[in-house]
């Protein structure tokens, strides 16, 4: 009897527990996204995106500044290299020292006498050409064709070929060769046909004992008598012109070209034609 009364409470407790498990609703684990939670999440995403954009913009700015510094260094090194290259070209040479000091009126002893036409040489190009000496022109001129401007190391350069008639005396190998040089400046040429801008380059030139860099404008002179015109910027303080003479100085010699002794047959003047710049 005692055993039955002892088991009854336990049995009732078990029934109640089972009944409770049966009627208790399951917890709601769904994650409902409210409007405020959505807005908060979007604000966090926008903030993160803005931070990333700011960081990327700063990196691009730093890289652009670095590229600009590198470009400046490359241009400086290019200019230095060209100066060094010019110095190397002059190693072993004995160029005439040209003084630019004022001289007394009538003192011509330090000036070289030139004829109205002369042979000139271009050591870095490797050819000789006929030149007309013209004190009426300011800047010297060189006959050129297929003139193409381009950029190298941030500087303006020019590429061209000599523009010559078929019978023009020249080292034949240089008739169709490309010549490249940096553009030093530009000049405005005023003619009856109009005004045009021409590039100016600097080339090492020899004329008799004279050897120096000379500035040339580039234009097609093939319709004229002389492919080279030497103006007063070249003549100033270093030369005088004797218009009664031509080819006072011998023609320079280059590999592949004719000897200086054979120059006389090519020295046929044609001064009757009108020249221009």
Domain stops at, among 45, 63, 92? 92
> Which candidate, 210, 256, 209, places its Cα nearest to that of 236?
210
Other C-beta atoms lying within 10 Å of the C-beta of residue 156: 14
Mean pLDDT lowest among 131-145, 165-179, 188-202: 188-202
Residue 201 φ then ψ, to 5°? -125, 165
pLDDT-derived band at 273, boundaries 50, 70, 90: very low
Average pLDDT of the segment spanning 40-68: 85
Classify residue 271: in a domain, yes or no: no
Average pLDDT of the segment spanning 36-64: 85
Q: Could you read off the pLDDT of 2-42 as tens digits, one per residue?
A: 544 555 555 545 544 554 444 445 555 445 678 888 888 88
- Same domain for 134 and 68: no
Would you say residue 213 has pLDDT above 80? yes
Q: Which of 7-11, 19-23, 65-69, 93-97 shows the highest mean pLDDT?
A: 65-69
Contact 227, 203 (CB under 8 A): no
Mean pLDDT of all residues belonging to the chain: 81
Average pLDDT of the segment spanning 154-158: 93
Domain stops at, among 43, 62, 92? 92
- Same domain for 135 and 84: no
For the whole model, what pTM was predicted?
A: 0.59
What single string gives the DSSP state of each residue in 42-101? HHHHHHHHHHHHHHHHHHHHHHHHHHHHHHHHHHHHHHHHHHHHHHHHTTT--PPPPP-S
Please tell me the predicted confidence (pLDDT) of residue 217: 94
Q: What percent of the chain has pLDDT over 90?
A: 45
Classify residue 121: in a domain, yes or no: yes
- Same domain for 224 and 134: yes
Please tell me the predicted confidence (pLDDT) of residue 95: 52
Q: Could you read off the pLDDT of 122-153 as tens digits, one per residue?
A: 999 999 999 999 988 889 999 999 999 999 99
Residue 130 φ then ψ, to 5°? -85, 140
- Same domain for 229 and 157: yes
Q: Please name the residues in contact with 108: beta carbons below 8 A apart, sequence gap of 6 or more.
A: 240
Please tell me the predicted confidence (pLDDT) of residue 22: 46
- Same domain for 148 and 77: no
Please tell me the predicted confidence (pLDDT) of residue 21: 46
- Same domain for 241 and 152: yes
Task: Give the residue numbers spanning the domain of 88.
Answer: 53-92
Question: Domains in the chain: how many in total?
Answer: 2
Q: DSSP state, 227?
A: S
What CA–CA distance (Å, rounded) separates 236 from 243?
A: 16
Token digits for 195?
């005004």
Classify residue 2: in a domain, yes or no: no
């Amino acid at each position: 009897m005692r055993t039955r009364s002892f088991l009854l409470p336990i049995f009732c407790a078990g029934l109640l527990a089972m009944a409770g498990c049966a009627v208790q609703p399951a917890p709601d684990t769904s994650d409902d996204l409210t409007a405020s939670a959505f807005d908060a999440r979007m604000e966090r995403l926008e903030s993160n995106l803005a931070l990333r954009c700011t960081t990327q913009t700063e990196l691009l700015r730093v890289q652009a500044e670095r590229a600009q510094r590198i470009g400046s260094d490359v241009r400086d090194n290019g200019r230095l290299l060209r100066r060094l290259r010019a110095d190397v070209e002059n190693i072993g040479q004995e160029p005439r020292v040209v003084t630019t000091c004022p001289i007394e009126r009538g003192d011509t002893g330090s000036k070289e006498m030139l004829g109205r036409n002369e042979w000139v040489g271009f050591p870095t190009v490797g050819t000789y050409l006929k030149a007309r000496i013209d004190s009426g022109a300011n800047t010297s001129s060189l006959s050129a064709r297929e003139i193409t401007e381009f950029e190298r190391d941030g500087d303006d350069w020019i590429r061209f070929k000599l523009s010559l008639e078929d019978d023009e005396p020249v080292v034949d190998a240089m008739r169709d060769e490309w010549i490249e040089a940096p553009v030093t400046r530009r000049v405005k040429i005023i003619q009856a046909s109009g005004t045009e801008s021409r590039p100016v380059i600097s080339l090492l030139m020899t004329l008799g004992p004279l050897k120096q860099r000379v500035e040339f404008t580039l234009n097609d002179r093939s319709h004229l008598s002389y492919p080279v015109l030497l103006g007063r910027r070249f003549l100033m303080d270093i030369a005088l012109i004797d218009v009664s003479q031509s080819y006072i100085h011998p023609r320079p010699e280059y590999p592949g070209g004719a000897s200086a002794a054979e120059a006389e047959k090519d020295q046929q003047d044609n001064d009757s034609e009108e020249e221009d710049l």
